[in-house]
Amino acid sequence: MNMTQIFMDNGIVVPVTILQSSSENLSPELENKKILITGTSKGKGFAGVMKRWNFAGVGEATRGQSNKQRSAGSIGSQTPGRVLKGKKMAGRMGNEKVTVKGSKIVKIDSENKQVMVLGPVPGARNSKVTIKVLE
């Protein structure tokens, strides 16, 4: 995956992502078709609740508070005496399957087996993605 820009016939500059295809049957009739792109998002490692879930943090940054500015705060009540499933907490972020809707094939270079896509593409460079053409 690399990004570039191409000029359309009417002179408009379009930013595109170039995807290398493993398929032999790339036909120019797929141009201007809407697609779904599925891939694995970039892994971000262990992240706290402010980065992972956009929490605001607990309390003020001053007034005697030493190490609680970026914490999650309370995680439950006395009853039922456990942490409920699905509670938003710190943990591993990213590295999960993502499907992006609303992308479009702008141009196909069948000679070099390249597909130029308008819109976001999930994952890091050189990661594998799946393209599904919507009819």
Q: What ranges in 23-118 are assigned the alpha helix state H?
A: 49-53
Q: What is the pLDDT of residues 76-117, one digit of tens each?
A: 889 999 999 999 999 999 999 999 999 999 999 999 999 999
Its sign, for the CA torsion 19, 25, 28, 30, is negative
Structural domain includes residue 60: yes
Instruction: Report how far residue 129's alpha carbon sits from residue 134's, in angstroms, rounded to the nearest whole number.
Output: 16
Same domain for 66 and 127: no
Q: What is the β-pairing status of strands 34-40 and 91-94?
A: unpaired
pLDDT of residue 43: 94
Structural domain includes residue 65: yes
Structural domain includes residue 18: yes
Structural domain includes residue 82: no
pLDDT of residue 133: 92
Structural domain includes residue 68: yes
Same domain for 51 and 29: no
Same domain for 102 and 38: yes
Q: What is the pTM of this model?
A: 0.79
pLDDT of residue 57: 80
Residue owning tokens 């930013």:
15
For the chain, the domain total comes to 2
Same domain for 30 and 56: no
pLDDT of residue 99: 97
Of 24, 9, 1, the residue nearest 107 (C-alpha): 9
Q: What is the pLDDT of residues 24-81, one digit of tens each?
A: 888 889 999 999 999 999 999 999 999 999 998 877 777 777 777 888 888 888 999 9
Q: Tell me the mean pLDDT in the region 5-30.
A: 91
Residue 132 has pLDDT above 80, yes or no: yes
- The whole domain housing 61 covers 47-74+87-92
Residue 14 has pLDDT above 90, yes or no: yes
CATH code (residue 32): 2.40.30.10
pLDDT of residue 15: 95
